[in-house]
Structure 1
Amino acid sequence: MYWGMGAYGRKKKLTAPRSVVVKPFEKRRATFYVPKNALTMKEWLKHIQLIYNNQKIDYIEFSDDSHEFDIDDIKEVFGNITDVYIENTGCFTFNQMILEKFFPIEKLFIKNSSFQNSKIPESILSQNFLRLDIGVIDDDETITMTLDDLLLLNSKVANIENLQMTPKHFNKFIKLWQKGSNPRLEYLSIGYPNVEGSRDFDNILNGIKYNKFRSSENMFQSAGLLEPEVIDGMNIHRYDGTKATIGFGRDNWSMAVWMDHCIA
């Protein structure tokens, strides 16, 4: 699609497209050229949604040079979208505007580099998202967070990739969860580089009482997960009796909290 320059703020406006590219999943894309287009961008969107009988936009992604566009114009065309991806748009202020314009957001996908000094604001960590993803699998960018940052997490599901943190801090986090921290957390997955196998796993569970668990009957589900999962690992308990299962992968560990509604 082609864009024109907006009049105010030197921002590009979403003008009527000269061509439209439609690419259904797992199918060849179709390109339509419109020599005499009388439809606006918003009208084209509604037209395509009608053709494919799909009124919902699953997510919106902001990436390279997105900051050149008028955020109010984008919101006007695409409306309320609850799943938002923010990558390297080229402007920290624009990234903050995305969060404000599309509030409330249910699922947020971000990177450290999306924010000033590669520091994710506390106001984002403490929001009650259904799901918060920080970092990207197989990305060279490492995520820097502190133990206090982890304790601020208020999402039901949190996924953090390439996190630079020691097993000692993970151990402290789990112990603080047992004492009542992060009460909304249902599922946490952390990928971290330089794993030293069973030695790290022993350090993460150091001083924590647990028993081995295999999910033979129940599956774990959460509104922030795409589908129920089989959970195996080590069972631990919070002070109020709530059970959680700690699982270890090749380069990650996870914690599933078995709240009543999480049993599939």
Structure 2
Amino acid sequence: MTSTFPLLQLPDRAIKTVFKQYGVTDLILFSTISNRAKCLVKSDKRNAYHIEFYIDRGCIVYLNCGTIIFFGESQQRESDIESLTPCAVRVEEQRPPSKISFTLPGYSVRDWLLHFMCVFNHPKINLSFAIRDEWMYSLESVRKIVEGISIKKLSVFENACEIMNYFPIMNSLEVKRFTLEQQLPEEDLNVIRKVLIGNIACLVIYRSIPIDLNMLLLMNCPDIDLCQSSITDKQLNKFIKLWLTGACPNLQDLDLDIVEQYINGFRLDHCVVMKGIKYEEFRDCGLTGCKYTIRKPDGTRALLSISDMTFSFKILDHDNTIS
């Protein structure tokens, strides 16, 4: 078939000129003809900015051009996702508006996932687990699909420990929560504590995590967002002083809130947080809190933002301006 496909008789440059008239669906189908066709589509650079695998919905590819690709969709609960072979693909294009669905013999969810990662130049996926009652696929079937694939962000609602045992390596971890949900089980807390002191690039926790000064100093993640922390203003003061003397060298961004403590009447006192620390103060003091910059002996600057229930720490480049 490849030798007789008319377009492939042309030189690469001529084929790329033809691509200008192709929609995404045309490119996808063309890319499955041969390795050369796949490489040509890859070089067209209609890149993806996200590839998401939702355990409650299936896979979604978001392209920079506005096109969205859906595949791996299932109406059955806790099904084996590989049973969807051949896997239907649905393409929604914006210009001109169109919705096209198709299947190709033998193409499974994993086949399409790897194919789209290649031709749309996106080497990692985001893997998102909804609450257990909404799962459409079994945990084991998802593991088989993404085996060997790099995970950029892992998002979980519950069963964090179980899920992270299946997918222990990721760039970013997000642990979500319900509004009135109980605290994490001790087993899950232990797993997350290990992640906090590991080499993960980004950590977002919407669950209540006991955080004290010792835990802050052990953190090795560059980007940390803890949305239900229990830190005190005196501990934050000590943390800042230790950072100024060399602690937490990898930290770039730290966001903490104390909503639960705030509800119980506790307020962060910026005077206590900044006591004994040399700083420059900026406008914006008031309802939005106060902002300060501090500087280490080596010239590294950090911006601190403090309100009654939030604390933010951000490393500034020397050229950064504060808004």
TM-score range for the pair, normalised by the shorter chain length: 0.5 to 0.7
1:156 Cα deviation from its structure 2 partner = 1.8
The answer for the alignment partner of 2:291 in structure 1 is 233
Q: In percent, how many aligned pairs have the same letter? A: 21
CA 1:63–1:213 in 2, change beyond 3 Å: closer, same or farther? same
1:242 Cα deviation from its structure 2 partner = 2.4
The answer for the alignment partner of 1:2 in structure 2 is 74
The answer for the alignment partner of 1:94 in structure 2 is 163
- SS of 2:144's partner is helix
CA 1:199–1:186 in 2, change beyond 3 Å: closer, same or farther? closer
2:276 maps to which of 207, 220, 233: 207
2:153 maps to which of 80, 83, 95: 83
Q: Which amino acid aligns with 2:217?
A: L
Distance 1:201 1:153 in 2: 23
2:107 maps to which of 39, 47, 54: 39
Note if contact 1:12-1:69 (Cα within 8 Å) is conserved in structure 2: no
Distance 2:203 2:166 in 1: 18
Query: Normalized against structure 2, the TM-score is what?
Result: 0.56
2:236 maps to which of 170, 182, 186: 170
Would you say 1:257 and 2:315 are equivalent positions?
Answer: yes
1:107 maps to which of 172, 176, 179: 172
CA 1:128–1:143 in 2, change beyond 3 Å: closer, same or farther? same
Regions of 4+ moved over 4 Å: 3-6, 17-25, 28-34, 46-50, 194-199
Instruction: Give the alignment's Cα RMSD to 1 decimal.
Output: 4.0
1:246 Cα deviation from its structure 2 partner = 1.0
Note if contact 1:4-1:15 (Cα within 8 Å) is conserved in structure 2: no
CA 1:177–1:29 in 2, change beyond 3 Å: closer, same or farther? farther
- Structure having the higher helix fraction is 2
Q: Which amino acid aligns with 1:107?
A: S
The answer for the alignment partner of 1:189 in structure 2 is 255
Note if contact 2:268-2:308 (Cα within 8 Å) is conserved in structure 1: no
Distance 2:155 2:92 in 1: 19
CA 1:172–1:20 in 2, change beyond 3 Å: closer, same or farther? same
CA 1:92–1:117 in 2, change beyond 3 Å: closer, same or farther? closer
Structure 2, gaps ≥5 residues long: 1-72, 177-182, 284-289
Would you say 1:158 and 2:220 are equivalent positions?
Answer: no
Structure 1, gaps ≥5 residues long: 136-140, 215-231
State which structure, 1 or 2, has the greater radius of gyration over its C-alpha atoms. Answer: 2
Per-residue displacement from partner, 1:2-36 (whole Å, max 9, x unpaired)?
Answer: 38899xxxx945322676566789xx9969587x9
Name the count of aligned residue pairs: 227
- SS of 2:199's partner is coil
Distance 2:196 2:186 in 1: 13
Note if contact 1:191-1:252 (Cα within 8 Å) is conserved in structure 2: yes
Note if contact 1:143-1:163 (Cα within 8 Å) is conserved in structure 2: yes
Distance 1:150 1:39 in 2: 47
1:155 Cα deviation from its structure 2 partner = 1.8
Per-residue displacement from partner, 1:153-197 (whole Å, max 9, x unpaired)?
Answer: 112221111212221111121121112110011121112224479
CA 1:24–1:60 in 2, change beyond 3 Å: closer, same or farther? farther
CA 1:161–1:20 in 2, change beyond 3 Å: closer, same or farther? same
The answer for the alignment partner of 2:82 in structure 1 is 14
2:187 maps to which of 95, 98, 116: 116
CA 1:204–1:242 in 2, change beyond 3 Å: closer, same or farther? same
Q: Which amino acid aligns with 1:245?
A: L
Structure 1 segment 116-135 matched on structure 2, within 5 A: 116=187, 118-135=189-206
Per-residue displacement from partner, 1:211-254 (whole Å, max 9, x unpaired)?
Answer: 2147xxxxxxxxxxxxxxxxx82122234442222112464221
Q: Which amino acid aligns with 1:235?
A: T
> Which stretch shows the higher mean deviation, 201-210 or 38-47?
38-47
Q: Which amino acid aligns with 2:313?
A: M
Distance 1:144 1:19 in 2: 45
